[in-house]
Structure 1
């Protein structure tokens, strides 16, 4: 019961920003965390003037060779970014990031982020895929 009350109580502006009946669309806590991870993936280093180290720039990864060293770089950069961006939301020791080719689809890169939301004691995971020159949102990897 307390968990349900916490889930519904926090409201955040959605990313990407969308309008809904003359107000910005809101997201709940779990969706907000997923959207923050997407921001880290989509923002290139240096794009945020006051936080130049924020982001890993997934668009720049689209044309690089899919090698184990690239996957390791993605994992390290994303783990650091997620850990920093989710301070207070996710338990620091619970954040796990893995990157590698999709099973049976070597041209597709899958990125999986697992974490535990501290206030809700809820384990979550979100998966992004990079395929055919674009970043696929969660649930659209093939």
Structure 2
């Protein structure tokens, strides 16, 4: 009788320990409010793409440059630029970037008319600036 009592006590203790461990580990994993001391979250909308070759226009390529994106706007493209405070920095070394946002969905309705095409050449733009 004492053997079965000890066995049931041991099983109860193991079950209690397992449930306690499960509850504690689940609470820690599901709580996004528990951050390490000194943690400063970075803003989601500020990005610095650093170290890549950036083609600003057909006649101007910047090497080892940085592209700064704030929200949905490219604000700066320069060589030897330091990232803004709080920006998420992405290492783009060895890559080539073509700055611009592309809308993959374009609805055109010509209804039998020939679409008008406008071409822009880099030679027409004398400034070649890529700042916001």
- TM-score normalised per structure 2: 0.21
Q: Which has the higher helix share?
A: 1
- TM-score normalised per structure 1: 0.21
